[in-house]
Amino acid sequence: MNSVAEKPLHLPSTINSLPTGWKWSRLDDACVGVYDCPHSTPILTQVGPLVVRSQDIRSGIFRTEQAANVSEETYRDRVSRVEPQHGDLLYSREGTYFGIAAEVPEGVRVCLGQRMVLIRPKREGVDYRYLRYWLNSPAVALHVAGHRDGTVAERLNLPTIRGLPVALPPFGVQQRIGQVLGSLDDKIELNRRTNETLAAMARTMFRSWFVDFDPVRAKAGDQTPPGLEAATAKLFPDSFEPSALGPIPKGWKVLPLPEAITVNPSRSLSKDVVAPYLEMGNMPTASARALAWEPRPCGSGAKFVNGDVLLARITPCLENGKTAFVDFLNDGQVGWGSTEYIVFRSKPPLPPEFAYFLARSPELRTHAIQNMTGTSGRQRVPAECFNSYPVVVPPAPVAARFGEWCQPIMAMMKARDEESRTLAATRDALLPKLLSGEVRVGDAERAVEEVA
């Protein structure tokens, strides 16, 4: 039976021919199965197996740390037809992040949320990592753009997904392509995780010093503050004094936030001047730094310089944690972004990093969320709500020491992010050339060795 005749193959418009030894296949012919999700919204829980949604794979990697959980009962119900396993691909079929594939991580129990599809490649003849790169390639992205439907939300129907064209080189070539591109992604992912660990360390230090006052408590109990060298420990008092917030370290002050942090500082950037623009979609939710921005003629929106802190003020971006420390501009350069940003800037003696970690603190975020105004779904934080938010301000020597401790960490994070940008640029340049056969795998492997 001629399956090709029964199931037509529509080829990408950007690829005219394949190298010798390569062949075209439909996705469903290259797979054991392409499975749709249950058409129901799962009830989420605090713990349990994971459920994947389109926003969890928008980078092409399943972000397990931000995925939601479901109960064991819900999990069993949703995997009754097929249970995702390592070597399968998760594919988004609808929404803002449609048409993206990610691998099922090893050792992770996950079920499909709405708008998701599970792709199980044939274990013989199809390398799952290669297939992920193919599905995420520019050629396929352009192809699916011409086959999407939906008047409200962009989506791909299941027959379209099953009929997606796949360029298949010999299996050994697939594996080498997957490995060479995967080595770049693995290094990018390692940098991301390392930076999140560094940011978490700094947040922990901020809380220890300026919220829980651990060094002062230790000295008040005639103990040496753990983890601090003698010169730093000496900067902290050994007793507390009363304040409107309760006991605070002796000699420290409680100030309304605007007296310690400038809110929406004035920045000059003329209309239509091309400047770095940071859109809300590129605001980080867990790390400190934005990784993508673009030049754009200036319009209405927040203006900022290096050392400023951006806090999303609109729901659900605030609740999702969108906050950024600005350090990607040139000296003296002004950037701009969404009107939905509130900008913070530390006042002396506080270092710039103090405002960032304050903006990340659960207490400030809770205050902001509780003071949101507006209609449901479009609520915003008024900048004036911070007039009543109290900040415990340390003396200049303690503030300066925190800055000295933080700045090398922030510099390390920036260096890793810049390395990741180089790695990503190399990957994105190699991807279409490898998948079209324009660049041989051996040449790509040598190019990767130079940057990885």
331-350 pLDDT, tens digit per residue, is: 999 999 999 999 999 999 99
What is the b/e burial string over 216-237, where b = at least 16 CB atoms within 10 angstroms of the residue's CB? bbbbbeeeebeebeeebbebbb
Q: What backbone torsions phi and psi does residue 205 show, to the nearest 5 degrees?
A: -65, -45
What are the chain's domains?
Answer: 3-167 (3.90.220.20), 196-401 (3.90.220.20)
| Three-class SS of 277-319 | EECHHHCCCCCCCCCCCEEEECCCCCEECCCCEEEECECCCCC
CA 20 → CA 50, 93, 176, 343, distances in Å? 42, 32, 17, 56
Strands 116-121 and 248-249, bridge-based pairing = unpaired
Order of strands across the sheet that contains 261-263: 261-263, 341-346, 309-312, 323-325
Is residue 353 a contact partner of residue 410, using CB atoms and an 8 Å limit? yes
- 93-107 burial, b for 16+ CB within 10 Å, e for fewer? bbbebbbbbbbbeee
**Residue 314 burial (CB < 10 Å; 0-12/13-18/19+)?**
buried
In this prediction, residue 446 carries a pLDDT of 85
Confidence band of 59 (pLDDT split at 50, 70, 90) = confident
CA distance 154 to 162: 17
DSSP label at residue 437:
T
pLDDT tens-place string over residues 234-279: 999 999 999 999 999 999 999 999 999 999 999 999 999 999 999 9
- Say if residues 131 and 89 touch (Cβ distance below 8 Å): yes
The mean predicted confidence, pLDDT, of the chain is: 92
Phi-psi region of 95 (alpha: psi -120 to 50; beta: other; left: phi over 0): left
Rounded-to-integer distance, Cα 358 and Cα 133, Å: 39
DSSP 386-418: GGG-EEEE--HHHHHHHHHHHHHHHHHHHHHHH
* CA atoms of 88 and 142, how far apart (whole Å): 23
Task: Find the helix or strand (DSSP H, E) in which 263 lies.
Answer: strand 261-263
pLDDT at 153: 56
Residue 5 pLDDT? 44
pLDDT, tens digit, for every residue of 207-242?
999 999 999 999 999 999 998 999 999 999 999 999
| Chain center to CA of 189 | 11
Question: How much is the average pLDDT of 102-112?
Answer: 96
Q: What separation, in Å, do the N-terminal and C-terminal C-alpha atoms of the chain show?
A: 47
Indicate the pLDDT class of residue 3, thresholds 50, 70 and 90.
Answer: very low
| One-letter identity of residue 77 | D
What is the phi/psi pair of residue 224, to 5°? -80, 125
Q: Would you state the structure tokens that stand for residue 330, as one six-digit string?
A: 């040139």
Length of the chain: 452
Q: Which band of pLDDT confidence, cut at 50, 70 and 90, is reported for residue 97? A: confident
